[in-house]
Chain A
Amino acid sequence: MSTFRSIVFSSVIAGFIVGLIVTVAQQFGTVPLILKAEVFEKAAETHQHDAAAAPQAAAAGHDHAGHSHADHDHGAEAWEPREGLERNAYTAAANVLTAIGFALLLAGFFAVRSGATGESVSWHEGLMWGLAGFAVFTIAPGLGLPPELPGVPAAPLLSRQIWWLTAVLATAAGLALIVFRRSVPAAIAGVILLILPHLIGAPELEHVETNVPSSLSHQFMVAVTMTSLVFWSLLGALTSAIFAHFDRRAEMSA
């Protein structure tokens, strides 16, 4: 189990470092925009509860019917972290866990790859894998489902999650065919796989009405994409370097 141990050690270390750095980056990039959008979201909700007869509120109520989670997400029923430090602590923990999860995925590829070539994956090759992760997990699903702010109604959650997963799997398979199969038919099949989820199209509402200004949504899209670029390039380079270190040591002691 020495390979598994090396993968887990390196993923936990890289995940901690990258998760904490990204938490700081998000405090400047995405979190202020989420908080701003929540002001609009909360205002729309109280408006809706107070004056259900007003035409604007009726429209908002209609949107929220398609957006069935509005009530239980922000209702008083379920626990949620207190504003400020507690909320940010959970954000940091979730970032670290997400980074560890994706690092496990990357390091798994590094282990298979270095096992097949006999050479450890360099930090530079790791960076390339990280950028592939950025394309697969941020760019491809983000084209159909742009990063969304709280308070912007969207299609039912499960349908979006299924499309997100489809886009991720198709893009990963398409890139793998193009990079590792180096033949014309494989490259054509790869490009088709890259395009396919966007031909199917992401689920969206026919009619979206929100108080969140579109300039805020646009800023958020840029902020998410940039913090995610930092996340993936750091995670790819760090995970590969740390995994190579542990893997060499495991081989020497074996």
Chain B
Amino acid sequence: MSQSQLTNAQVTHLPVASGQVGRLSQALMAMVLGVFIVGVVGFSHIDVIHNAAHDVRHSNAFPCH
């Protein structure tokens, strides 16, 4: 269903249909990368990462300790 909505959006808004799919998947890739970075810095249980990012975890109110 979401696939068909996507197709409609392409037809109505963009002259190049394949451009929109490319844009969406590229955006998703970037977002996954972003979540991964925040996850490692803010949530990793590895001690060394915890100690390096300690003050940032507390300052961002991420669960710490």
Contacts and interface: CB of A to CB of B under 8 A. Distances in A.
A33 B15 CA distance: 55
A78 B16 CA distance: 54
Interface residues of A, number: 62
B23 A3 contact: yes
Interface majority SS (helix, strand, loop, mixed), chain B: helix
B50 A138 contact: no
A34 interface: yes
A224 B34 contact: no
B26 A164 contact: no
Interface in B33-51: 33-38, 41-43, 45, 47-48, 50-51
A4 B26 CA distance: 5
B50 A118 contact: no
Contact of B37 (A31, A101, A161): A101
Contacts of A93: 52
Interface in A1-60: 1, 3-4, 7-8, 11, 26, 29-31, 34
A30 B55 contact: yes
Interface in B3-61: 9, 13-14, 19-20, 22-24, 26-31, 33-38, 41-43, 45, 47-48, 50-61
A91 B51 CA distance: 10
Contacts of A4: 26-27, 29-30
Closest 7 CB pairs of A and B: A104-B34, A101-B37, A78-B47, A108-B31, A80-B51, A101-B38, A147-B61
